[in-house]
């Protein structure tokens, strides 16, 4: 990508003055001028590619500039103070947040990796854009991984699929998450990847007519409804199909819903109107409806999900959402940075929407052992969530295998601290019993009761663990 092209794409969505962007381009190009990548290409090509990914996600000027400069502090001899004077505090903070820790000595690779993640998470507590730059950096590295030695390919792919892809999912950046997963899958399980790719392409070719017929029939019925809408085809990413095959212990041929459509409209009320039309025309599959508009996922994702039977007997997954929900589902948190610029019609509630992430980051700061940090981090990034109901019908999303203690702390720290028992679906259960989606949970509390240190071995969420530790510390009790 050339500078003119980058500036043109940036100006399509932003009115910010691009002088700083041009300066960052030239500065990074000069700083890396004698460095090469494993492919033999000039190193700066990577910096430009990261900036292009950030522009595709419509990030603000400071983030794109930091993308161009993200390796300057780590890979060149330019002093931090010089860099800070050249680009100011905001861009310096973003770049130093992305920079890895190379100087510290650790007793194991696990510890070094955990410390890198901890540094990134702490930088993110100050500015969530750090993670978005890090994800763009990792995406381009994965796209060019074929130039690395086999051992390095496996190591980087494993880290990507177990930490970076779930993090992208947690931030709601599904497009990026899917590409990271499929690229990792390609290196970790090359035979399964190639076999599945061939089958998916063949099935898609065979089903293209089916999908076209389905869309036409649906369009005919929706046309009379006067509800504005557009229909998009959707193919699942390979890795999610592979995970489903493993989870259900079925071959690809028996996986029903690898194909689907999205219907995008202009308002929430029209989402439900379109759902009614779809269900009146096509037979819905029992138990397939989920309302993520009324109960959004923790990463801001909203849509109506349903599966219906096409005339040929095939099952097709349908997602119905507004244009804004669609933008959030593609770009996640990245979709909200434009609003920071004070544009007309801006979302003034960005901070509120990001509160769960900041809270989670604060909890993670409480963990001292690097290994435990990584384990807690992975648990809280769990792709699959369960939904637990309060007796009043409110919904609390939790990671799979969460316990009544996790649930108690999810309601309020005081409820967690004074919890002495739990009823699930009106029956008393042990506090270490894993909860299941749809359970109605009621916590029994007693005044002056307190958390027990053995709860640390039971709870799954960073929030619960952090609160228990805080209580033990404040009361001078040992954690071990």
Q: Which amino acids are annotated catalytic?
A: 74-75
> Quick one: DSSP state of residue 403?
-
Partners of 176 in the β-ladder: none
Give the SS3 label for residue 414.
helix
* CA 157 – CA 142 distance, rounded (Å): 8
* CA 452 – CA 250 distance, rounded (Å): 43
* CA 74 – CA 76 distance, rounded (Å): 6
* CA 339 – CA 330 distance, rounded (Å): 16
**In degrees rounded to 5, what are phi and psi of residue 391?**
-55, -25
- C-beta atoms surrounding 424 within 10 Å: 18
Q: Strands 304-309 and 315-322, how do they pair?
A: antiparallel
Residues recorded for the chain: 480
* CA 364 – CA 252 distance, rounded (Å): 38
The tokens describing 292, both together, are 């993520």
Q: CA dihedral in degrees (215, 216, 221, 224; nearest 10)?
A: 120
Cβ density class 197-227: b for 16+ within 10 Å, e for less = eebbeebeeebeeebeebbeebeeebeeeeb
- C-beta atoms surrounding 151 within 10 Å: 8
Q: Decide: 456 and 465 in contact? Cβ < 8 Å.
A: yes
Q: Decide: 91 and 62 in contact? Cβ < 8 Å.
A: yes
Partners of 42 in the β-ladder: 36
3-state helix, strand, coil in the chain (%, to 5): 60, 10, 30
| Nearest C-alpha neighbor of 96 from the set 120, 117, 63 | 120
* CA 207 – CA 227 distance, rounded (Å): 27
Query: Which residues make Cβ contacts (< 8 Å) with residue 415, sequence separation at least 6?
Result: 408, 409, 443, 445
- C-beta atoms surrounding 237 within 10 Å: 18
Question: Helices in 189-336 by DSSP H: which ranges?
Answer: 190-223, 238-248, 268-281, 323-331
**How far from the centroid of its chain's Cα atoms is residue 405's Cα?**
25
């Amino acid at each position: 990508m050339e500078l003119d092209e980058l500036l043109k794409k940036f100006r399509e969505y932003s009115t910010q003055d691009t002088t700083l962007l041009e300066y960052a381009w030239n500065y990074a190009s000069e700083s890396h001028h004698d460095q090469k990548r494993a492919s033999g290409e000039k190193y700066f090509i990577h910096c430009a590619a990261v900036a292009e990914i950030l522009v595709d996600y419509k990030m603000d000027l400071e983030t794109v500039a930091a993308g161009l400069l993200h390796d300057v502090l780590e890979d060149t001899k330019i002093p931090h103070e010089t860099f800070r004077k050249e680009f100011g505090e905001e861009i310096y903070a973003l770049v130093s947040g992305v920079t890895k820790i190379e100087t510290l000595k650790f007793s194991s690779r696990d510890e070094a990796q955990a410390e890198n993640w901890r540094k990134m998470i702490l930088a993110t507590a100050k500015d969530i854009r750090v993670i978005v730059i890090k994800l763009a950096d990792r995406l381009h590295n994965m796209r060019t991984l074929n130039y690395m030695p086999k051992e390095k390919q496996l190591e980087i792919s494993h880290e990507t699929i177990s930490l970076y892809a779930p993090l992208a999912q947690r931030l709601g950046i599904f497009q990026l998450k899917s590409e990271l997963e499929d690229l990792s899958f390609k290196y970790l399980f090359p035979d399964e990847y190639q076999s599945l790719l061939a089958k998916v392409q063949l099935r898609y070719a065979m089903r293209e007519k089916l999908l076209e017929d389905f869309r036409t029939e649906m369009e005919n019925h929706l046309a009379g409804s006067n509800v504005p809408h557009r229909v998009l085809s959707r193919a699942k990413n390979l890795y999610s199909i592979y995970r489903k095959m493993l989870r259900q212990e079925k071959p690809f041929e028996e996986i029903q819903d690898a194909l689907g459509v999205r219907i995008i409209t202009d308002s929430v009320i029209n989402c439900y109107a379109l759902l009614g039309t779809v269900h009146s025309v096509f037979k819905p599959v029992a138990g397939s409806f989920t309302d993520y508009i009324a109960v959004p996922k923790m990463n801001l994702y909203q849509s109506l999900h349903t599966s219906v039977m096409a005339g040929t007997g095939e099952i097709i997954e349908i997602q119905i959402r507004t244009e804004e929900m669609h933008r959030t589902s593609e770009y996640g948190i990245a979709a909200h940075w434009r609003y920071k610029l004070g544009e007309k019609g801006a979302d003034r509630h960005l901070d509120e929407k990001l509160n769960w992430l900041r809270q989670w980051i604060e909890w993670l700061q409480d963990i001292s052992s690097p290994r435990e940090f990584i384990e807690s981090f992975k648990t809280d990034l769990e792709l699959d969530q369960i939904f637990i109901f309060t007796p009043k019908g409110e919904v609390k999303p939790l990671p799979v295998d969460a316990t009544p203690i996790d649930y108690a702390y999810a309601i309020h720290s005081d409820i967690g601290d004074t919890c002495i028992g739990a009823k699930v679906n009106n029956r008393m259960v042990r506090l270490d019993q894993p909860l299941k989606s749809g359970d109605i949970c009621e916590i029994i509390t007693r005044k002056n009761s307190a958390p027990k240190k053995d709860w640390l071995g039971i709870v799954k969420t960073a929030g619960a663990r952090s609160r228990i530790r805080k209580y033990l510390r404040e009361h001078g009790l040992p954690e071990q």
